[in-house]
Amino acid sequence: MLITRPLLRALLGAVVAAVLTPFSTHASTLYVSPGGTGDGTSGNPFGRIANALAVAVAGDTVLLKPGTYSERLRTVRGGTSSSRLVIRAESDGKAILSSGAGNVVRVSHPYVTIRGLVVDGQYGPYDTVLVDSTATSLVLQYLEVKRSSKDCIDMRAAANVVVERSVIHHCLNATNGRTDAHGIVAGATRNLVVRDTKIHTFSGDAIQLDRDPAPGWDRITIDRCQFWLEPLLKAENGFPAGTVPGENGLDTKARGTAPRATVIVRQTEAWGFRGGLLPNMAAFNIKENVDATFDGVTVSRSEIAFRLRGPGANGGAWARVQNAVVYDVGTAVRYEDNIERVQVWNTTLGSAIPRFFRAASSTSTGLDVRNVLFLGPSSTMPGGLANMQATAAFFVNAGAHNYRLAPASPAIEAGVSISSVSKDRIGVRRPQGAYWDVGAYEFVP
């Protein structure tokens, strides 16, 4: 007998078979609503997500009506490069998955899109979202992922993953005073993109790129994101109110035996990395065998903006910082352990920075600092071409941390040419005149 999708839906109205082989001739929308008892149609939806996923195939959409689903989402099969499997809320933010028993979401199949869900781990001792190595080309968008005692999102060795337009928060573990619980942790992930995403309130890092398993991660892009920590407004999962529980915005680890791993961070803001439970908190803690580029980044209200670390068991980092704006930090750039390469170009170091650069067991041999505009004494600035000490008059409104150049700023046309910095932090072409301007902004007459 031919087992058709309508027949399967009728069977699933009472019991979901342990093993199902769906038959599909065209893409369908399968509806789910808390308390539903139907066959997955709009007027008679399934009651559980698992019922829909048992029959969904490539090209289908599993549509979750508003409400709370006290279950865990597990993919049964995926999509294809031309026909994705989509699991989404009917209205973004109105379908809530809530479970403290195991991963709330686990994706084990390729070409899946998950959109618009609130994923609540209830502080269970599990990663809230687990991405298996087989979840190639996964897209997570418009999600809220929260309340994990481990990592909010843990990725294994999946490739071509996108996390976008999401909010990830309250990844907290107070064991032994503080234990790592990251916003996103990625192992051997390749071609990961995290964009337009906010990550806050964690006891590890907003994003940690880990060296394990071999061969490790590579080609990571972080674009237009925000990472922050603030003192907890109330007690949370073992931490008392007022605690700043986390470590860094981005932390890198990479194998010294693998090719140098690359990460690009663009147009991203980080703040609040100070006053916590560990010393040397940094918005960006870059170490081991990595090549990191920061373009158009803003860092404020932190102990260290860029902590750049040299040789160790897994090699030392290379780092380039360009078009950055940094203010209200203890140290703008801390370079350590005779780091081989640190390039800081066309960057503005604003007010409330007691130390612009600080060496920690390191010489300045690896530093290349050019076209940096700094507001304050020059005693902690290294030498470099066209670096310039500024006053508030150089800027549109330094008091409000608007470090665009004022029309008569001496920084205009005062820089040296750096071909690799062909645009400023907001995309203006460099140079506008005959010479590069100094600092993060190019003046447009």
Check residue 31 and give its pLDDT: 98
Residue 421 within a domain:
no
CA-wise closest residue to 439 among 365, 367, 302, 421: 421
Check residue 441 and give its pLDDT: 98
Residue 44 within a domain:
yes
Residue 425 within a domain:
no
Q: How far apart are CA 18 and CA 385, in angstroms?
A: 69
Number of residues in the chain:
445
Residue 443 within a domain:
no
Q: Is residue 47 a contact partner of residue 35, using CB atoms and an 8 Å limit?
A: yes
Residues 6+ positions from 372 with CB-CB distance below 8 Å: 344, 345, 346, 347, 348, 349, 381, 384, 387, 388, 438, 439
Q: Is residue 394 a contact partner of residue 342, using CB atoms and an 8 Å limit?
A: no
Return the number of other C-beta atoms located less than 10 Å from residue 368's C-beta: 15
Residue 411 within a domain:
no
Give the DSSP per-residue string, 338-364: T-SEEEEES-EE-SS-SEEEEEES--S
pLDDT tens, N- to C-terminus, the chain (445 residues) = 444 544 444 444 444 333 334 444 468 999 999 999 999 999 999 999 999 999 999 999 999 999 999 999 999 999 999 999 999 999 999 999 999 899 999 999 999 999 999 999 999 999 999 999 999 999 999 999 999 999 999 999 999 999 999 999 999 999 999 999 999 999 999 999 999 999 999 999 999 999 988 889 999 999 999 999 999 999 999 999 999 999 999 999 999 999 999 999 999 999 999 999 999 999 999 999 999 999 999 999 999 999 999 998 889 999 999 999 999 999 999 999 999 999 999 999 999 999 999 999 999 999 999 999 999 999 999 999 999 999 999 999 999 999 999 999 999 999 999 999 999 999 999 999 999 999 999 999 8
Q: Tally the domains of the chain.
A: 1
Q: How far apart are CA 151 and CA 105, in angstroms?
A: 12
Residue 73 within a domain:
yes
Query: Within 13 Å of residue 235, how many CA atoms lie on the same side as its CB?
Result: 3
Q: What is the CATH number of the domain that holds 264?
A: 2.160.20
3-state helix/strand/coil string of 121-189:
EEEECCCCEEECCCCCCCEEECCEEEEECCCCEEECCCECCEEECCEEEEECCCHHHCCCCCCEEECCC
Sign of CA dihedral 311, 312, 314, 319: negative
What is the b/e burial string over 398-414, where b = at least 16 CB atoms within 10 angstroms of the residue's CB?
beebebbbbeebbbbeb
Q: Is residue 186 a contact partner of residue 208, using CB atoms and an 8 Å limit?
A: yes
Residue 339 within a domain:
yes
Residue 51 within a domain:
yes
Check residue 26 and give its pLDDT: 67
What is the b/e burial string over 174-201, where b = at least 16 CB atoms within 10 angstroms of the residue's CB?
beeebebbbbbbbbbbbbbbbbebbbbb
CA-wise closest residue to 147 among 193, 107, 183, 95: 183
Q: Which domain holds residue 210?
A: 5-405
DSSP at 9: H
Torsion of CA 327, 282, 316, 161, to 10 degrees: -100
